Structure 1
Amino acid sequence: MNEKILLFIPGYNCENQITRVLNQIDSEISKYIDEIIMVNNISSDKTEERVIEFIKQNSQIPLKLLRNTENYGLGGSHKVAFNYAINNNFNYVIVLHGDDQGNIQDLLPVLKNEVYKKYDCCLGARFAKGAKLNGYSKFRTFGNRVYNILFSLVVRKRIYDLGSGLNMYNVNMLKNRFYTKFPDKLTFNYCMILASNYYKHNISFFPISWREDDQVSNVKMFSQAINVLGMLFGYFTKRGNFITSELRENPKAEYTAKVICEGRTSDGE
């Protein structure tokens, strides 16, 4: 039985980058992908128009543009995509951020060698051996490395990245939707790391290339640093009670998105 793989591209105000990201999906990558969803998180720029243009010019690609019902945040967009993968019987979901900082080509060795079959999730790591950073400040590099060490101490496993823009998940690990109460913000991935420890998911890290040039960061470093420390302390002291607690500022009953445009369907119709 062949695996059914979904590629999920979250995006918010990335009109200058999204076409470059979509162009990363070449013939070699396409061999492994059954469907692509670009989830637009209510962008206020021309992100959506750029995706529609791409679909019209590349109608042979099984690409579907979804628009969130409201601005859910990056974590909320993940929930839309994870739920989509579960509801549509995908076996794996790949996450590639729409701001063109990561490169999906870095995932090819994982796909070609079928490494992903051995793990619940394969996570791209900007700070693993063999990774390449371009335009990333020394200050942010240092900060990330410190937090990687802190998380490693708490989960008792070497953590090489807390949340890059290129990851791959086995949908089986997502089916109980443990992620629903996680923050809808950028800290969603931090909770995913802690949850993988609590639920004993088998995770692996692979080196990626990462660059910053014309991207606009949505990270408020100081406030996020404080929030992450609080999150780590909460898990360290409460473990399961923390992971299963309500961690959203504004809990939602559901996360929905509307299909705006699509190329060919995943079954070739």
Structure 2
Amino acid sequence: MSTPDRILAFIPAYRCAPQVVRVLRQFQDPAVHGHFAEIMVVDNVSPDQTVAAAIDEARALGLGKVSVVHNHANYGLGGSHKAAFGYAIANGFSHVMVLHGDDQGNVADIIPVLAAGRHHDYDCCLGARFHPDSRIEGYSPTRVLGNHVFNRLFSAACGRKLHDLGSGLNLYRTEHLRSGYWHKFHDNLMFNYCMILAHVKRKDSLLFFPISWREEDQVSNVKLFSQARRTLGLLGSYLKNPDAFLAREFRDHPVAEYRFETLAKGL
């Protein structure tokens, strides 16, 4: 008899007080929040009212399974992932789902995957903005073109079709994360690129599923041209020595343990 799923929904949040409220509201439907044992907002030392907004909205929704935590330092997006991964491993979750707190993605897009049990057949289920069945609204043509170019470059270099290098809606099997291969990856926005290359190197089983993606009032932290240079540099380092990729230290300031303080639980 198979063990029931125990899925952690992890919402990384930084400077997104208006948006994180809308993200939490995506879980109102019992058909959605019923799939998750815990919904955890991980605030990355936001300078605005992100924490207060998340706590107030979670209380108003009354789902009884929302936690709001605050990183001990500004770890970056990748560092917040690492904090959540460590929590999921330590607390016996079967899977951890990532949904960015800026309200660009929609949790409803992964529910058909979970309801059908398709996630049991894969190490990772990755939301793909550029899947043929995906829908994109308000995304600048420059970013769309840039993403298509990089998807093709990475796919050609890796010998594997990659529909997206890192969207804001992904699901990982916790057992797949247990080795900690991700610990030395970049703590910043480059984390997802490290992850996709690691998936290829490890020969992980991947499901790319279509999602809806939108840009409305989100505040972007991405500087396109500098990000493009860093992404190309990362791909070049992988191609130069794929065998050393998983052991390499990518961080400028290594952190031994990514820790957070729990501000509210069971809301």
TM-score normalised according to structure 2 size: 0.97
Does structure 1 conserve the Cα–Cα contact (< 8 Å) formed by 2:98 and 2:169? Answer: yes
Aligned twin of 1:53: 56
Aligned length: 264
Q: List aligned pairs for 1:87-236, cutoff 5 A.
A: 87-236=90-239
Aligned mates of 2:62, 2:264 — CA distance in 1: 10
Q: CA deviation at 1:40?
A: 0.2
* Unmatched segments (≥5 aa) in structure 1: 265-269
1:86 counterpart = 2:89: yes
Shift of 1:237: 1.1
Amino acid at match of 1:201: D
RMSD: 0.9
CA shift at 1:214, angstroms? 0.2
Taking the aligned partners of 1:50 and 1:262, their CA distance within structure 2 comes to 15
Candidates 5, 8, 15, aligned match of 2:7: 5
User: What's the counterpart of residue 21 of structure 1?
Assistant: 23
> Identity of paired residues, percent?
47
Per the normalisation by structure 1, the TM-score is 0.96
Structure-2 separation of matches of 1:211 and 1:194:
26
Equivalence for 2:263: 260
- 1:11 alignment partner AA: A
Note the C-alpha offset of 1:58: 3.0
Contact 1:17 1:100 in 2 (8 A): yes
**Residue of 42, 45, 49 corresponding to 1:42:** 45
**Structure 2: which amino acid aligns with 1:242?**
F
Check conservation: 2:70, 2:263, Cα contact below 8 A.
Answer: yes
Q: Which residue in 2 is equivalent to 1:250?
A: 253
Question: Which segments of structure 1 move beyond 4 Å, counting only runs of 4 or more?
Answer: none
Give the CA deviation at 1:175. Answer: 0.2
Shift of residue 41, structure 1, vs aligned partner: 0.2
**SS state at 2:67 partner:** strand
Following TM superposition, by how much is the alpha carbon of 1:43 offset from its aligned partner in structure 2, in angstroms? 0.4
1:224-250, CA deviations, whole angstroms, 9 ceiling, x for partnerless residues?
100010100100110021231000111
Could you tell me which runs of 5 or more consecutive residues in structure 2 were left unpaired when the two chains were aligned.
none
- CA distance in 2 between partners of 1:78 and 1:257 (Å): 12
Q: Distance in 1 between matches of 2:26 and 2:62?
A: 16
SS of the residue corresponding to residue 16 of structure 1 reads helix
